[in-house]
Amino acid sequence: MQSEDNNTMCVGGAIVVFAKCPGPNSKTRLSPLLGAEGASSLAQAMLSDILTSLSNQPLLKNTLKVLCYAPKSGEAQMISILQSLNLPYPLIYDDIYVDIDEEQFQLLNNSNTWILMPMKSTSDDLTSSSLGDKLEDALVRTRQLLDTREDSNKSVLFLGMDSPELPLEEIVHGLQVASSSNDNNKQAKAHLCPANDGGYGLLSLPYRASSLKIFKGVRWSHPLTAVSQMKALTDNNVDVSIGKLMFDIDEPNDVQDLAKRLVGSNDDDSKIIEEETDDVLTSYTHGIGSTDNIQQSFPHHTKNQLIDLGIIQIHDDKHVVKVDNDREKEEGDIDESTKVVSLQGQLRQAEHRATVLSDRLKIVKESGSSVIQSLNEELEDVAQHSAKVEAAMIKELSSLDSKRRAERSDYQKRISEWISLANNQKEDIDEYERKIESLLSTVLMMGDDAGSDV
């Protein structure tokens, strides 16, 4: 892409990479396979690929990039990693309020610039129950940085450091749909890419999502982490779209599967060959336009580190992945034995995936009733609201009709009273007439008596 012609196509907002400083305790579950030092080296390589991939993506040139790390004492190590990648870091954002000078402000608009942000927490464990508090704090501080920029896109996208195979199209799409100024004039919503272990590797959030609420109740380090995060968002009236499945590298089997994918891929930055699959999560794509606009990247640092660690070996100019039972998969080898090994590997992966999905389905059936109940409650709320509106309309019409009936009744009552009064008055008049006639009769009789006396 040419930035001059496509600058308006670039997405804004912010990307926050959540990372634990690579060290002996950073990837302990990989130590049985790689050793403590090897696990640390692989963690740094994966982080390096994520940072360079995001920095080199033309569509993200206007996107604010934040490296949020723990522990705080790892600042020098993170600076060293950025320096090794030739990535500038004009600002270490270690305070909730920060004054940015003109030079720093200009560097913030540099596509390669990264802001270092130590996590505001006493705990350095990214899998602990405090992860929600760390995400909440990072969201607040990143939004404050966005407020210093003239950018209508205020969306914030979180990424982990355990998925070096970045789905760049998902990142672009996530920043777009979470923006309140997206082209379709639709209400901004969140976007989530679930991970193969039940968590999630990507989460973009619109500006209207409350930092105080959207991470509450999430079940961290759990097969239902992604599900509970989606529920937390929808409970707070934030719609969520679902993206492709991402692969976290946490276990020894994850490393071997990653190595096989990298050996089976073309390490040309312009293209990544994906294995054909009918898995709805891994094959799902969004209507974000042609992916030709997205410059794909390859995790070179990760692959080279796997070569250094002996997971990927080179024999006769071919890359070979060491797998269980001394089987090997060779890059470009198409003989029958390799096909058999490949099919056996795919079968083991399918069996493993079936087991994982079966376990996850069992968990969802057991504890997913709360999600279903929440949806039913929302539907009930809609039905109740509709019923209230209908009842109010009927009541209003009935009130008007009752008022008219009351008025008619009042008129009838008044007429009856008038008739009764008229009848009473007639009786009084008749009584007066009788009295007058009686009085006249008495007067006449008195006159007659007086005449006879004379």
Q: pLDDT digits over 1-30, tens only?
A: 333 444 557 788 999 999 999 988 888 889
What does the alpha-carbon distance between residue 405 and residue 393 come to, in Å, rounded to a whole number? 18
Mean pLDDT of 260-270: 65
Name the residue type at position 106: Q
Q: How many domains does the chain have?
A: 1
CA 406 from centre of chain: 56
Per mean pLDDT, which range of 39-48, 306-315, 327-336 is the poorest? 327-336
Q: Is the peptide bond before 71 cis (omega within 30 degrees of 0)?
A: yes
pLDDT at position 372 is 57
175-186 burial: b if 16+ Cβ within 10 Å, else e: bbbbbeebeeee
Q: Render pLDDT for 106-141 as a digit per residue (tens, 0 to 9).
A: 666 555 689 899 987 655 555 555 789 999 999 999
| Mean pLDDT score across all residues of the chain | 76
147 vs 397, more confident: 147
Residue 278 has pLDDT above 50, yes or no: no
pLDDT score of 89: 77
In sequence order, what are the residues at sequence separation of 6 or more whose Cβ sits closer than 8 angstroms to the Cβ of residue 365? none
Residue 414 lies in a domain: no
Residue 365: how many CB atoms within 10 A of its CB?
Answer: 9
What does the pLDDT read at residue 325?
A: 41
Query: Is a pLDDT exceeding 70 seen at residue 448?
Result: no
Q: For residue 400, is it within any domain?
A: no
The string of pLDDT tens digits covering residues 72-86 is 888 899 999 999 999
In a domain, 366, yes or no: no
Question: What is the spatial distance between Cα 42 and Cα 38, in angstroms, rounded to a whole number?
Answer: 6
By three-state DSSP, how is residue 96 classified? coil
Domain assignment present for 21 = yes
308 located within any domain:
yes
What is the arrangement of strands in the sheet containing 156-159, beginning at the earlier edge strand?
Answer: 91-92, 115-118, 64-70, 14-20, 156-159, 200-205, 190-194, 240-242
Q: Within 13 A of 20's CA, how many CA atoms are on the CB side? A: 20
| Alpha-carbon span 120 to 22, nearest angstrom | 18
- The CATH number linked to 293 is 3.90.550.10
Residue 48, in any domain of the structure? yes
Q: Give the distance, in angstroms, between the CA of residue 263 and the centroid of all CA atoms in the same chain.
A: 33
Average pLDDT over every residue of 233-260: 91
Domain assignment of residue 327, yes or no = yes
**Residue 297 in this model has a pLDDT that exceeds 90:** no
Please indicate whether residue 397 or residue 365 has the higher confidence score (pLDDT). Answer: 397
Predicted pLDDT at 323: 52
Interval 344-354: pLDDT, tens: 555 665 665 56
**Residue 206 to residue 188: CA distance in whole angstroms:** 6
* Residue 66, beta-bridge partner list: 16, 115
Choose between 275 and 248: higher pLDDT. Answer: 248
Residue 176 scores a pLDDT above 80: yes
Q: Mean pLDDT, to the nearest integer, of 149-155?
A: 81
**28: DSSP letter:** G
State whether the Cα torsion 65-68-69-72 is positive or negative: positive
pLDDT band of residue 293 (cuts 50, 70, 90) is low
CA 427 centroid distance within chain: 87
User: How large is the average pLDDT for residues 61-69?
Assistant: 91
Q: Using alpha carbons only, give the angle 258, 163, 131 rounded to the nearest 5 degrees.
A: 140
Q: What is the domain range of residue 265?
A: 9-331
What percent of the chain lies above the pLDDT cut of 90? 32
218 within some domain: yes
